[in-house]
Amino acid sequence: MPTFYERPLTWLFGIAAICLDAVALSVDHEGDFATVLGLGQLLLASGWLVLGQSHPLARATWVIVAIAVLTAPDYVIPRLRSGFYIDLVWPHVLGELIAGAAFTSAVAAGWLTVLRGFAGDDHHCLSRKPQFSLATLFGWMIVVAVASTGLRNADFSLIDDNLTDLISGCGLALSAATAMAAALGAYRASWSTRMASLIVIASGAVMSLAAGVSRQVAAVHLGAWVFVVMWIVVTRLDRRMDAKAIARADSYDGAETALRLVADER
């Protein structure tokens, strides 16, 4: 995992997001502000599952942790308020989070594959001989066990309860996943890939804010979209700063090597 000095803006963005989460939980865990933060962070974790450069096990773990943390308020708070509770809310919340994460990850992976096809980046698809350590195998076993438990307890019956909200949510996930794949994916960008990405992003945005969606839902989707865009900008700035630091280090090493060769010749 990158250190703070390698990705300072990303770390600061994460710390700020955690602080905002604490504020949202203290105010109203079911309010629009908390919903915006939760939806935005779910989109980020789902996109990072495909676009991240860390170990796949770590990325899958982060997605599961994000879903568990976002479900926890609806599971814990009713139990703290009263001893007489019925588990009616959190299974539906868990089901919606799982469905949203799966759809966003699938869209990000699919669009990144399309972009690589446009750019002709066939070298990214070369197969490598899989190698797994014993610790990695145990880690994947835990991930599969936790994921299967979540799927068993989740309730997906309310996902298609409101067709307008479903289409709007799919449009938000489509536009956010496409933006993340286009901005952070490993492919050779060209005018055709940029134009295609803009068309898909605009189409998803129109779907998410289409007629029939309530102002409250539209405001939540707009806030989540802004959260994703801010994360994309922060990540790109960190990558650019990291690339400049590497270039400076390489030039310094090259100059040092040249001076040593001159000294040796003398």
Does the pLDDT of residue 165 top 90, yes or no?
no
245-263 pLDDT, tens per residue?
Answer: 666 655 555 545 544 544 4
pLDDT digits (tens, 9 = 90+) for 87-143: 678 889 999 999 999 999 999 999 999 998 887 755 454 455 666 678 888 888 999
| pLDDT tens-digit readout, 12-62 | 898 999 999 888 888 887 788 888 999 999 999 999 999 988 888 889 999
- Higher-scoring residue by pLDDT: 101, 86: 101
What's the residue count for the chain? 266
Residue 2 is predicted with a pLDDT of: 59
Give, in order, the Cα–Cα distances in Å from 40 to each of 43, 127, 206. Answer: 5, 33, 18
Residue 137 pLDDT: 87
- Please state whether the predicted TM-score (pTM) of the whole model is above 0.85: no
Q: Bigger pLDDT: 237 or 81?
A: 237
Question: What is residue 190's predicted lDDT score, i.e. its pLDDT?
Answer: 86
Q: List Cα–Cα distances, 192 to 181, 189, 197, 200, 222, in angstroms.
A: 15, 8, 9, 12, 27
Q: Specify the 3-state DSSP secondary structure of 100.
A: helix
pLDDT band at residue 4 using 50, 70 and 90 as cut-offs: low
- Sign of the four-CA dihedral 83, 86, 92, 95: positive
* Better pLDDT: 144 or 214: 144
What pLDDT score does 118 carry?
81
How do residues 166-192 score in pLDDT, each as one tens digit? Answer: 888 899 999 999 999 999 888 888 888
Please report which confidence band the pLDDT of residue 207 belongs to, taking 50, 70 and 90 as the band edges: confident
Alpha helices by DSSP H, 133-162: 134-153
Q: 194 pLDDT exceeds 70?
A: yes
pLDDT at 262: 41
Phi, psi (rounded to 5 degrees) for 193: -70, -40
Residue 263: per-residue pLDDT: 44
Which uninterrupted H or E stretch holds 186?
A: none
Cα–Cα distance for residue pair 98/256, rounded to 1 Å: 53
